Chain A
């Protein structure tokens, strides 16, 4: 179903580096993926793997002045965002691509009411009069299931719970009816029962608007619940990508396999979890060859010398590992 939907976001060989006094941090180092209408792609990885920098590059909000996109294209419905001016980007953000960050506290201004902030976002997208805009704002709050929106419009962020604030952030993000929503760990700061409410809400918005979602997370549980496809990131690169079911059933990259194996489960008893020893390499001092080599159980000489190409292993499934044999059926 989703395979037939048009591609709305096409990221090609994106490289975004941070120029710091410790050297060049290769946060995003040749990342490619495509996102179709109505589809959710999970970008999974540990902290410092470059997943947030990938998200920020897509909306051109890399930290200034250190961050720079050095190569690649971000095609939003065919238009390359990398070459846009800041003025052009301002018209694109919110209206065609939006982003939700982990901590709602950083996205909302503490000295303005919720109403002011939603109205500000709406005013950018609609030329309506004040009364019509207020109506739209209340409607936006109602859509993210905020109870008594008329009263909530007058509330300040500190008067709301974390879950409620994140809903408001969500309302602002989708107010301009964007085509693409980038959600960067939007539920990490929320309690589990509130997290579930929020995830269900995002799904509902997506079903209504056919949004394409890029869901950045470190949690395979969220991937299992939310995502159609997964891209696993390690040290600045995507090491495996494929349909969610295929990856859960048969992860092919040793990192994906080890990472999934080390997560404790709710069901079934495990006496001992397999763990990945060591830690990811620093992004300003990357090893030659495969970046996971130092922690990999199957490493050999070639892995330390050369970075492996991404090998196709099934329908829309690929992994960057020397051990993976290309599957004949994927041609």
Chain B
């Protein structure tokens, strides 16, 4: 899985202790803050060149907010995102435009991410014109290039989004992300809205593009098998924190954190005779407005000890490239 992946000394992107709290207000005119949704609560990771980091967790765990912080769609409450050592949220003017060409995104829903009134070539070219001066001919040439890269016929350029199926639209979304020659693409649930038979096509395309164009991916997904197939490293999030972070192979072979174990056990089996490790969690994910004290997972954890409700465990290495945040280790 790992062959062909360049291990760079300095990672492309580095998130340092990212925190994002959203205020919860009460009252219509004179809003008064009554609390904070702790969507992201101290998250750190790196993504190397030509590497994919998978971010998994259930809804409300903060994985999408984390990806939005990376895309600069949100300002962090604390912490930094560094691209090649530069603080992303401090960028202004030309440097900021350059950032937006280097980091692109593809979202879950290919039906809502494309402007229905623009021809495909204009949608794709938009990504080029926003940040750079390009000649008309240069623009068309680039459009044809990226359409070819995502496996669409050149005739697609003159057509409108409604003429395409879900899978093809996701290819178009990918083409417009590629147009500006980015280094990192944030993929937020890129295949979960697609049909089963189409998913493999898109996942294979993502892998091919990464290999051919030295792309880095941040893959946000809830489907564990998808992440295993694409990501080199995987981080598991629960209530705004990373609870386990490891090389994908090592994580899937031996998950350590009780939440990761429960999450993996809840994944549906590949066949009826697959060994079953039933660990059905009771209750639901608590509210991120007032998360439990200590380890956020302790009220649902079958192995909770006395200290778990008092002390938040640190993320520490239990094996090479395998970090776990749990008092059991």
Contact = CB atoms under 8 A, between A and B. Distances in A.
Interface of A: 46-47, 161, 163-164, 191-197, 200, 218-222, 224-225, 244-245, 248-249, 258-259, 262-267, 269-277, 279-280
B266 A244 contact: no
A307 B158 CA distance: 36
A248 B272 CA distance: 8
A285 to B, nearest CB: 14
A1 to B, nearest CB: 16
Contacts of A266: 224-225, 228, 252, 264, 267, 270
Contacts of A280: 197
Interface string B203-238: 110010000000000000010111011000000000
Interface of B: 1, 58-59, 165, 167, 195-201, 203-204, 207, 222, 224-226, 228-229, 249, 252, 262-274, 280-281, 284-285
Which secondary structure dominates where chain B touches chain A? Answer: helix
Nearest to B271: A248
Contact of B222 (A46, A191, A219, A277): A191
A46 B270 contact: no
B271 A279 contact: no
Contacts of A272: 204, 207
B269 to A, nearest CB: 5
A114 to B, nearest CB: 16
Nearest to A282: B165
Nearest to A227: B272
A219 B229 CA distance: 17
Contacts of B267: 192, 221, 266
23 contacts: A47-B195, A161-B284, A191-B222, A192-B224, A196-B265, A200-B280, A218-B195, A218-B196, A225-B269, A244-B272, A262-B196, A262-B200, A263-B199, A266-B252, A266-B270, A269-B1, A269-B228, A271-B1, A272-B204, A272-B207, A276-B197, A276-B200, A279-B198
A280 B166 CA distance: 12
Contact of B263 (A47, A193, A220, A271): A193
B252 A163 contact: no
A197 B226 contact: no
Given A262-B199, A275-B200, A276-B197, A221 B284 contact: no
B270 A224 contact: yes
B228 A264 contact: yes
A244 B268 CA distance: 15
Given A47-B195, A266-B224, A193 B272 contact: no
A269 to B, nearest CB: 6
A220 B269 CA distance: 8
Given A197-B280, A218-B195, A279-B198, 8 more contacts: A193-B281, A224-B272, A224-B274, A262-B196, A264-B226, A264-B229, A266-B252, A267-B274
